[in-house]
Amino acid sequence: MRALGIDPGLAVTGFAVVEVLDRGGRINDYGCIKTDSRLAAPERLGIIYNRVCEVIHKWSPNLVVIEDAFVNVKYPKAALQLGEVRGVISLAASNLNVDISEVRPSEAKLALTGNGGAGKVQVENAVRRILKIDAPAGSSHVSDALALALTGLSRGGWFNWP
């Protein structure tokens, strides 16, 4: 079983492909899709869509796990942009016949750390412990994407950790 976790954002979208093996989970790929703020929004969305399609084609995940949207009423434009990013990611997965699952940040934090209000450092440490990796993920976006992939796999009963 293979999951593609995605932490959506217009400026930076983190992604991580995690595969379940007999001995645990393995990271197949990870990174950040960065878009230039000088480009128009449709161009930036196109970059994200195309890159997500490339990752799906390369790794053939069984599941795409995307962070569920939250809306901060103080920043309605940011919420709309996030919705657009989530839309192109969902479209990419749907067009390539990959199941989509949404995970709230608090659910991922609770699943990984036992604390739904855990901070980024706690989440990254849990990801590193579960996947048995020494080095940090390199970006909070990648760490969040790894957390989403792990939570999606756990939720489906495909992967559990002590």
Q: What is the pTM of this model?
A: 0.93
Would you state the pLDDT for residue 113? Answer: 93
- Show pLDDT as tens, one digit a residue, over the chain (162 residues): 999 999 999 999 999 999 998 777 899 999 999 999 999 999 999 999 999 999 999 999 999 999 997 777 788 888 899 999 999 999 999 999 999 999 999 999 999 999 999 998 999 999 999 998 887 667 899 999 999 999 999 988 888 776
Would you state the pLDDT for residue 162? Answer: 61
Structural domains in the chain plus CATH codes: 2-155 (3.30.420.10)
Q: Which long-range contacts does 22-30 make (Cβ < 8 Å, 24+ apart)?
A: 24/130, 24/131, 24/132, 24/159, 24/161, 25/130, 25/131, 25/150, 25/153, 25/159, 25/161, 26/131, 27/131, 27/133, 27/146, 28/2, 28/59, 29/55, 29/58, 29/59, 30/137, 30/142, 30/145, 30/146
